[in-house]
Amino acid sequence: MTYINTKNMLIDSRRKSYVVGAFNIVDYSSMEAVVEAAIEKSSPVIVQTSQKTVEEMGYEMLPKMIKFLSSDTVIPIAMILDHGTDIKVIKKCIDYGWSSVMIDGSSNPYRDNVKITREIVKYAHWKGVTVEGELGHIGGREEHINISEDKVLLTDTLKAREFWELTGVDSLAIAIGTRHGHYGGQCKLDFERLAGIMKLCPFPIVIHGCSDLPPGDLRKIISYKPSKMNISTEIKHAYLDSYKTYIDSSHSNYKKDNIYEYEPLKAIKEVKTSIKELVKSYMDIFGSSGRVVDSKAG
């Protein structure tokens, strides 16, 4: 089994100048698609679960799923709670087997963010679980996270290292102008801020809100060598769009030859294929493909 926490995975990605992709899943089929993509691309991977997904599927099922899927490969696989804002939920994820958690205290004043992040770090490290913190506040909407543009707060470059030193986080999510959701072709990123943070901070840096970034901006972010980049919205669209494509095709065939095909297993297979191909494409862009020499156990 190669189910691990994110510590060495992200240290290695920074040292070797590639990005580990973190992909949000919603059920077993989407998780399986992400893991299969990692195996086929010989790439380390981080599976992300939102608080909403945890509440829907439960604390026992998700760790069992990821441990089962990682049991027959040498690919490094981690699972992180994404944007944990509820202390009780975060601690239960740690207790039930997540290998990493994110404590998102970014909506709090700086001192309060430090305090609650430090609390989670202490609890998690005691159990061998790594912690991602957040400093700054990115905009957009993702499930229970909804930040209007007037509430966006870019990361203070000088505070980033201080926050790491005060809290002991293993990685830090920063705000440079990315946002949750789709960009619609418009994006204004503060690359000077990113450059400053990367220069001052010797630890893994995380970029959220990477779905649908304009290709040029995506490549430029990668050139600054963050350790982890998150993809969520595009996974959800691939998931639901695949079902819609299958149903639309079934309706078209019915009009043509009076045959209604409603085969859930076939639809699920198309969903998996769509998500897998999307994840594989990002692994190529991130430079993580081929980083694991042998992707098969034994």
**Would you say 160 and 172 are in contact if contact means Cβ atoms under 8 Å apart?**
yes
Q: 45: which 2 tokens?
A: 């991977």
DSSP secondary structure string for all residues of 42-69: T--EEEEEEHHHHHHH-TTHHHHHHHHH
First vs last Cα of the chain: how many Å apart? 11
Q: Is 159 exposed, middle or buried (0-12, 13-18, 19+ CB in 10 A)?
A: middle
Closest by alpha carbon to 16, among 230, 217, 222?
222
Show the tokens assigned to 297.
């156990």
Distance of CA 25 to the CA centre of its chain: 9
Point out the catalytic residue in the list 72, 82, 86, 248.
82
**Cβ-contact 45, 31 below 8 angstroms:** no
CB 130 within 8 Å of CB 163: no
In the residue annotation, 170 being an active-site residue is answered as: no
Residues recognised as catalytic: 82
